[in-house]
Amino acid sequence: MIIGHQKQLNYLKRMAESGKIPHALLFSGQEKLGKKTIALEFISRLFEEPGVPKILGGRHPDFILIEPPTKNNGGGQIQIDQIRDLSWRLSLKPIKAQLKAAIIDESHSMTREAQNCFLKTLEEPKGNTLLILVTEKPNFLLPTIISRCQIIKFYPVKKDEIERYLKNQGGSSKGEIEEIAKISQGRPGRAVELASSKEKFEFYKKRTKELDEILNSNLATRFQYAKDLSRQENLREILEIWLNYFRNIFIKNSSTSQATTKGEEENLFSSPSKVEHLKSILQQIQRTIYLISTTNINPRLALEILMLELQHPASERGRENPSVLPSRKILKTEGAQRDKSLFSPHCVRLLKSEPRASD
């Protein structure tokens, strides 16, 4: 069952009924919104074989699914060899359906070489084919790819729709349903994931509690936490939890008319005056997620830089002990040259203004 997105579903239904289907669609929107699920449903309708399981995983001879090779390990990039194989398979005649169809999930993760190769497939489609690109970062795609696709945008689903679905599914208490709906922030995929796995739900709450503690600790403690965290295999998942955590605070503080909920835990950033700082934090977390997912950056270094961003403005005025602010040290880690884009303006101010310990 698909949660929400009725406008997009109706549009795709009319498209299928008319038979006027473009050879390339781009499904754009936040992750866990259900874009891939809707793409699979749409293709199963075109194949006249209702039911996603029949085509999921490439079991249908006329369906091709392209994903980052190490997606389950939290990252990776789609390589040019995968796109070349896609082009070859699309050149073959359909076996069961009237067309060949492919989904490129996380299409923004294609390397530049893969994107250039894919562009040739878009410019010279072979036979009756349908390509659906699924992405939460369309700005990472070449403009020439985007211009050749019909874009369908997806937006967060209303909270009450998610709550209604979870209630109908059963297995969760009213309090859990409300908390899951809040955590998911309009993303049905995340809501279903948390509701179907008590372990994931408890993991989320545990990591949120840890983050609360870290925000109230000194920088030395944060750097030690960054060291421990860098060894975690599910680092990207943890950073996604952080992103969700600060988004909730940002949304609450962006609206001055919205009072703090009774019993809701206060934290160092819970005031409207910290909105700009929260923006910097969100950008730095997103940058960190991207770097650890698509590059060979040292995870510990990236997390240490993020810890600087998480430092509350009050600590810039000397709350922290200067002896535990290794600003110069972080720039010398492993003697490597560091990309200046790692540092947000807030981090740069910290590095310039903090007293430095002797090397």
Ordered DSSP codes for 60-80? STTEEEE--TTGGGT---B-H
Query: In the predicted model, what is the mean pLDDT of residues 177-191?
Result: 89
Residue 305 has pLDDT above 50, yes or no: yes
Contact 278, 249 (CB under 8 A): yes
338 three-class SS: coil
The label of the residue with tokens 């940058």 reads 287
Query: In the predicted model, what is the mean pLDDT of residues 172-189?
Result: 88
Residue 229's nearest CA partner among 74, 103, 237 is: 237
350 vs 156, residue with greater confidence = 156
Same domain (yes/no): 138, 14: yes
The pLDDT value given to residue 162 = 93
CA dihedral 161, 165, 167, 168 (to 10 degrees): 140
The pLDDT value given to residue 50 = 64
Contact 315, 216 (CB under 8 A): no
Same domain (yes/no): 148, 46: yes
Question: What CATH number is attached to the domain comprising 10?
Answer: 3.40.50.300
149 vs 58, residue with greater confidence = 149
The pLDDT value given to residue 295 = 78
Give me the percent of the chain exceeding a pLDDT of 90. Answer: 42
Quote the tokens at residue 206: 């545990």
Given 153, 170, 187, the domain boundary residue is: 153
Most confident of the following: 57-61, 68-72, 109-113: 109-113
Give me the percent of the chain exceeding a pLDDT of 70. Answer: 77
Residue 107's nearest CA partner among 9, 35, 21 is: 35
Opening angle at CA 357, ends 356 and 359, nearest 5: 115
**Do the domain assignments include residue 207?**
no
Residue 74 has pLDDT above 50, yes or no: no
The pLDDT value given to residue 176 = 87
The pLDDT value given to residue 335 = 35
Residue 294's nearest CA partner among 112, 133, 75, 102 is: 75
- Tell me which residue range forms the domain holding 58: 6-153
Same domain (yes/no): 12, 138: yes
Quote the tokens at residue 55: 């085509």
Opening angle at CA 195, ends 230 and 155, nearest 5: 80
The predicted model scores a pTM of 0.74
347/356 Cα distance (integer angstroms): 14
Phi-psi region of 177 (alpha: psi -120 to 50; beta: other; left: phi over 0): alpha
The pLDDT value given to residue 276 = 82
The label of the residue with tokens 């650890």 reads 292
The pLDDT value given to residue 7 = 95
The label of the residue with tokens 């009756």 reads 128
Query: In the predicted model, what is the mean pLDDT of residues 341-353?
Result: 48
Domain count, the chain: 2
Same domain (yes/no): 315, 217: yes
Same domain (yes/no): 126, 21: yes
235 three-class SS: helix
112 vs 330, residue with greater confidence = 112
Residue 344 phi/psi, 5° resolution? -80, 165
Q: Give the burial class of 276: count Cβ atoms within 10 A of its Cβ; 0-12 exposed, 13-18 middle, 19 or more buried.
A: exposed
Residue 129 has pLDDT above 90, yes or no: yes
Given 153, 169, 203, the domain boundary residue is: 153
How far from 28 is each of 39, 66, 97, 220, 288, CA to CA, in Å? 11, 16, 26, 40, 21
Query: In the predicted model, what is the mean pLDDT of residues 188-200?
Result: 88
**Do the domain assignments include residue 185?**
no
Mean pLDDT over the full length of the chain: 80
**Do the domain assignments include residue 188?**
no
Residue 224 has pLDDT above 70, yes or no: yes
Longest distance between any two alpha carbons in the chain, whole Å? 72
Residue 79 has pLDDT above 80, yes or no: yes
Alpha carbon 291 to its chain centroid, in Å, reads 13
Contact 102, 66 (CB under 8 A): yes
The pLDDT value given to residue 334 = 36
Same domain (yes/no): 32, 134: yes
Residue 312 has pLDDT above 70, yes or no: no
Given 153, 168, 201, the domain boundary residue is: 153
Contact 129, 100 (CB under 8 A): yes
Q: How confident is the model at residue 264 (pLDDT cuts 50, 70, 90)?
A: very low
